[in-house]
Amino acid sequence: MHFNSLQAVLLLALLPHTLGQVEPTRVYLPPPATSATAASDPSNPVNEQWNNILGNALYFFDIQRSGRLPENFRVDWRNDSVLADGSDVGLDLSGGFFDAGNYIKATLPLCWVVTQLSWGAAMFGRGFDAADQTAYLDETLRTGLDWLLEASSKDGELVVLIGNEDSYWGGDLSIPSKRPSFRVTRQKPGTDVFGSCASAFASASLLYNGTALPLSRSENGTVPSLKNSTYAKTLLDRGKSLFELAKTATPQQVYQKATDGVEWAYASSDFVDELVFSSTFLALATGDKTYADYAQQTYKSSGYPVTDGAVNWDQRAPATPFLLAQLALSQPNLGVDFSKYQSDTEGWMDRITGGIMSKTLTTKGGLFWFEGDSDAASLNPALNVATIMLMYSGLASSTSKSTRYRTFAQSQIDYVLGKNPMNVVYPAGTHPNSPKNPQSALASGGSDADNIDNDPPVEAHVLYGGVVGGPDKNDMYYDQRSDWKQTEVALDYQPPLLIIAAHQIATNASDPYYVKGMGAVVTPTKGGRGSGGEGGGLSTGAKVGIAVSIVVGVLLLAAIAFWKRNQILVLCGRGRSDKKIRHTRSASGERLNLGSM
């Protein structure tokens, strides 16, 4: 795109005033999806397609914003909302982001989003600068961080969730006002969420401090131009105090044990990984050996490395050795053994690329699949592996391993961007083959919770850049709004794509897969609906399960059903239709199966 100076001046006059400290030289608005069918001009210093993927992925965060919106906000169909959030606990928590397709605000996944984004941006920062997206990155990070600063502003307390399970379906003007704030405290701690927030603050502090993280033994990455020492210090101080809470407040426990009313949303499975992550980021940000020693001791005494499993908002254990390897290079005086953590990181990666990790498979179409984790939102675990492998590849112990990790990452990136049996380009609004019906109460334009799919027939607003859940195990994607496992969007689905795009721009990668020219979206085969979907009524497995249970005893089933009604509704993919709105991402919820009840 070329802008003459008059256009630039006019556009500058339209800029919102409450962006972060940096101003973009032009307002980025997502281009029409049809622009994705043209190959980029190779003489352009920034690949236009990757530029748009990056720009759209950040634009999605603006769509999700809550509270009072800035003047001239670029998402013109959004309104001010939930201005009283936090007032029940004496805080102003009106800002921040809505978590997903619904309107809750959830601290644990938000902290992971900020952490992951800061981590990747401290390696491929040049990509944000080159694409003129640094102002939007700054705005996105600050929107999250400022909300977290407020949520943790009372000494020894942290708000972990706003909103309750009653699912409201409709626009942003009539969100029900009863939105309770749930807290953890020094007396009733949430070790995981204290640690996760400490990571968010420490990693962002590193970024605002202008410190790049290593790409290889001989090269540091680049940071985007958003350095601000004042902000970096504020973030670091808060990171330190939250880490002290995680480390010292007893009993050390997962946060859903501390407060009633949060288990249904994002229950966490563990807190050790958050302790290791937060102390490592604090060691990176401060150079203080105490943090490095704590990280290493906790890693060792907890039986790490963890060489199986996915990485996501709840679980980051397999990624801890990679971060420690970066610490070893970045702060060579702390006595961290690079080779040990390099080898531990590769233990996990080699099991994936070697196809020998337990409870994993690759779908026929090529998507890497973690049993359990991929059954809902299948793209996220695969994209997280791709992102971590891209970030790590320069640190690998041999060129062949480095190539293997990059090749694996590329296969998953290609899948998400069109190289799949359905010809779907999974980020919404990106390509004519992108999903048309993401599950999002904000974007749908409907208010009939019993008729999410057809009220209205065409989604009112395009959710540009939103990565949807993804296909089922048969690579089938049904594009039905009511099917949250496949079509819902969420904050934590975004950072992997953002980091990948910044990496591609920073390394002058060629066009994404979809530019090669693709056929139309393939209609999903009838009866092919596998483990991922729920919009089509009961799956065969659920029918069999229920039939068996009826034989075993209707009364027993009824008793269990009442006791575990929410999980059963999710499992069987039916029930009151408002339950088609995602209401549980909890690790326990996702891992639940009929046998374990």
Q: Which is nearer to ligand NAG, 491 or 587 (CB)?
A: 491
Binding segment (CB under 6 A) for ligand NAG, from list 76-84, 411-419, 526-534, 573-581: 76-84
Q: Which stretch binds ligand NAG (CB under 6 A): 71-79, 114-122, 266-274, 304-312?
A: 71-79
Q: How far apart are CA 336 and CA 340, in angstroms?
A: 9
Cα distance between residue 188 and residue 216, in whole Å = 42
CB of 141 vs ligand NAG, minimal distance in Å: 11
Does residue 171 belong to the site contacting ligand NAG (CB under 6 A)?
yes
Q: Does 237 help bind ligand NAG (rule: CB under 6 A)?
A: no
Rg (CA), the chain: 23
44 is a contact residue toward ligand NAG (CB under 6 A): no
Nearer to ligand NAG, 156 or 210 (CB): 210
Nearest to 87 by CA among 179, 216, 9: 179
Asked if the peptide bond before residue 381 counts as cis, ω within 30 degrees of 0, the response is no
Among 219, 237, 337, 450, binds ligand NAG (CB under 6 A): 219
* Stretch 317-336 residues interacting with ligand NAG (CB under 6 A): 330
CA distance 139 to 143: 6
| Binding footprint of ligand NAG, residue count (CB under 6 A) | 26
Our finding on whether 42 is near ligand NAG (CB under 6 A) is no
**By CB under 6 A, is residue 79 in contact with ligand NAG?**
yes
> How many CB atoms lie under 10 A from the CB of residue 278?
31
276: tokens are 């290791």
What is the rounded distance in angstroms from the CA atom of residue 431 to the CA atom of residue 416? Answer: 12
Q: Nearer Cβ to ligand NAG, position 47 or 420?
A: 47
Which residues from 370-429 bind ligand NAG, rule CB under 6 A?
none
From residue 319, alpha-carbon distances to 309, 313, 347, 410 in Å are 10, 12, 11, 19
CB of 559 to ligand NAG, least distance (A): 41
Main-chain dihedrals φ then ψ at residue 65, nearest 5 degrees: -70, 150
Q: Tell me the pairing of strands 368-370 and 157-162.
A: unpaired
Q: Which stretch binds ligand NAG (CB under 6 A): 87-95, 222-230, 268-276, 307-315?
A: 222-230
**Residue 90 contacts ligand NAG per CB under 6 A:** no
Could you give the CA distance from residue 106 to residue 208 in angstroms, rounded to a whole number? 24
Candidates 16, 31, 210, 347: give the one binding ligand NAG (CB under 6 A).
210
Strands 214-216 and 181-185: unpaired
CB of 441 to ligand NAG, least distance (A): 8
Question: Does 225 help bind ligand NAG (rule: CB under 6 A)?
Answer: no
Q: Which of 399, 336, 332, 407 is nearest to 368 (CA)?
A: 407
48, 501 contact by CB (below 8 A): no
- Select the residue interacting with ligand NAG from 209, 380, 439, 584 (CB under 6 A): 209
CB of 129 closer than 8 Å to CB of 51: no
- List the interface residues with ligand NAG, window 278-307 (CB under 6 A): 286
**CB of residue 446 to ligand NAG, shortest distance in Å:** 10
Contacts with ligand NAG, residue ranges (CB under 6 A): 21, 45, 77-79, 171-173, 209-211, 214, 218-220, 227-232, 286, 330, 442, 507-508
